[in-house]
Structure 1
Amino acid sequence: MHNFPVVGHLRYWLESIGPEMRQYFVANNREELPFNRIERSWIYASAKKENNYEGFGSDQDLYAHQHIFVKNRMMAFAVPIDHPNTADPSFIPCAKVMGAYNKRKKPYRPASIINVSAMSFGSLSAAAVEAMNKGVAKAGAYHNTGEGGLSPYHKQGGDIIFHFGTGYFGVRTEDGNFSMERLKKLVADNTAIKAIEIKLSQGAKPGKGGVLPGAKITKELAEIRGVPVGKDVLSPATHKAFSNVSELLELIEDIAIETGLPVGIKGAIGKLDQWEILADQMLKTGKGPDFITVDGGEGGTGAAPPSFADHVSLPWVYGFSSLYK
């Protein structure tokens, strides 16, 4: 800067516009992560109800390692006249009914196989949460609250999966423990809640807790999460409500009995020993989660150490296939 007082400043300007330069002029159509230019263009066109088709074949490397193919039939499937897709081609419901196998009082079959996964109010704005819930109401999908609690912005007509993690936000006691009574009241007061999901870990930072700075905890956020205004709130790495697989199964059964709803778990997949214990105990006791959400190691979050985001837990394809086997 001393030797080149004018030109030297260009370095910082070029660094500031570097991402845009690479995005528009350097990276090819399929190169960027997590979403490349082709994928973004399809999303933009679809959202605007514009033409999202492409011509002259695919520029995808069809011989690339792990390229995914969908195997077609020799003859196209003819939709029967009385089939639901005759009236609504976009109707693709979940094949399984959550809670039916375990005979829950209020089993739930999602009307869509494409839904909104766990993202919290507080990490997302009120406008974003409200827009997504209105969207799932139109699409017949469900909206997972994330671990930040159920906000007024989730109550726009869409089905809800209420999700809680180690902080038990929205269903916690004053000292930060899980409260069954508060969960029962929450479910009784909000009929849109169709299932409960317990977060064991998340793909972006499994085994890592978090701290919500007091400066971010407004009066509204404090009321929704059940925490003090303006004070740092810790989400521990581990649960207080259970410490092993047997206790987890007992909590699942207790919640299902008290609320009548299907209860599932969410986790990132790494070592399989505890998952194998879970499978064995489910087989022996006849108890277990009504659904399992597999979170891939490529999953995003508001803040994660790069070492966790890049190296901890299996990507979704490997994690799902390992757990399924």
Structure 2
Amino acid sequence: MNDFLNAIPSLPWWTWIFLFLFIVAIYDVFIQKRHTIKHNFPVVGHLRYWLESIGPEMRQYFVANNREELPFNRIERGWIYASAKKENNYEGFGSDRDLYAHQHIFIKNRMIGYQVPSDHPNKTEPNFIPCAKVMGAYNNRRKPFRPGSIVNVSAMSFGSLSAAAVEAMNKGVQKSGAYHNTGEGGLSPYHKHGGDIVFHFGTGYFGVRTEDGNFSMEKMKKLV
């Protein structure tokens, strides 16, 4: 025993590595029962699980391109980071964009810009982009409505948002010329801060129902 202990310091370094791998192999084959890969491929099987663990990072930095990840790709994250840090967030039109993709929107440069008529809304408000759809025009309603913006606030119930959030959104649509869909949670005072309102009521008739749960035209008229 003493001779063995005295010989330990003189063993080469690779002997310790071989001994460690031998112990790992014995454990993989005869002791652990969870992983079939480790049992069939002792020692080497650990490499497979290690590569699998760093797979997302490998794909993120070496495989996926700048516009391939979801829900936000590398270009979008970079823009968000730069905006949050108040750094330069300008983005040029690079060649890594798929200009022929379905519904891809981009700005085409012109040497001479289009001159709008003097009575055109964009003459006084260059950012005005009205909606192409006129609500009620197809059915010849007496008062058809054309939204002043193609970007609007979709239906979100007042029951799922705070009063401050509803108020902030309505003030925002008032400034941008958009409209605010109330969702099925009823029309609250926080929806009434100058922005256009689309009163959305579903089967629950929140705010416009009778005591027995039916629709009330009288309450509807009071709201409008």
TM-score normalised by structure 1 residue count: 0.41
Counterpart in 1 of 2:167?
130
Instruction: Specify which structure has the higher proportion of helix.
Output: 2
| Structure 1 partner of 2:43 | none
The 2-side partners of 1:50 and 1:107 are apart by: 44
- Distance in 2 between residues matched to 1:167 and 1:181, nearest whole Å: 16
In 1, Cα distance between equivalents of 2:140 and 2:93: 52
Gaps of 5+ in 1: 1-21, 188-325
Contact 1:79 1:86 in 2 (8 A): no
Q: Quickly say closer, same or farther: Cα 1:153–1:38, change in 2 above 3 A.
A: farther
TM-score, structure 2 as length reference = 0.58
Task: Report the structure number with the largest CA radius of gyration.
Answer: 2
Residue aligning to 1:79: 115
| Deviation, structure 1 residue 180 | 2.5
Aligned residue in 1 for 2:178: 141
Match of 2:157 among 103, 115, 120: 120
For 1:80 and 1:122, how far apart are their aligned partners in 2? 44
Residue 92 of structure 1: how far off its partner (Å): 1.2
Which amino acid is the alignment partner of residue 167 of structure 1? G
Deviations 1:34-86 (A, max 9, x none): x44534555687799975421472544x2897473559588654123614323
Measured after TM superposition, the shift of residue 186 of structure 1 is 1.6
**C-alpha distance in 2, partners of 1:119/1:91?**
24
Measure how far apart 1:154 and its partner are.
0.6
Contact 1:121 1:148 in 2 (8 A): yes
Pair 1:162-2:199 in alignment: yes
SS of 2:199 mapped into structure 1? strand
Q: Shift in Å at residue 130 of structure 1?
A: 0.8
Aligned-partner Cα distance in 1 for 2:180–2:136: 18
Q: 1:43 to 1:156 in 2, by over 3 A?
A: farther
Query: For 1:136 and 1:110, how far apart are their aligned partners in 2?
Result: 11
Question: Partners in 1 of 2:164 and 2:198 — Cα distance?
Answer: 19
Displacement of 1:120 after TM fit?
1.3
- 2:120 paired with 1:93: no
- Structure with bigger strand share is 1
Give the distance between the partners of 2:85 and 2:189, measured in 1 at CA.
28
Q: Secondary structure of 1:183's partner?
A: helix
1:110 and 2:137 matched: no
Aligned-pair CA distance for 1:106: 2.6
Give 2:70's aligned residue.
32
Distance 1:48 1:133 in 2: 27
79 and 46 in structure 1: CA distance in 2 versus 1, 3 angstrom threshold: farther
**Percentage of pairs with the same residue:** 72
Q: What residue identity is the alignment partner of 1:104?
A: R
Is the contact made by 1:122 and 1:148 (CA closer than 8 Å) also made in structure 2?
A: yes
- 1:135 to partner: Cα distance: 0.5
How far apart are the structure 2 equivalents of 1:108 and 1:44? 39
2:24 aligned partner: none
Q: Secondary structure at the residue paired with 2:160?
A: coil
2:221 maps to what in 1?
184
- CA pair 88-171 structure 1, distance change in 2 beyond 3 A: same
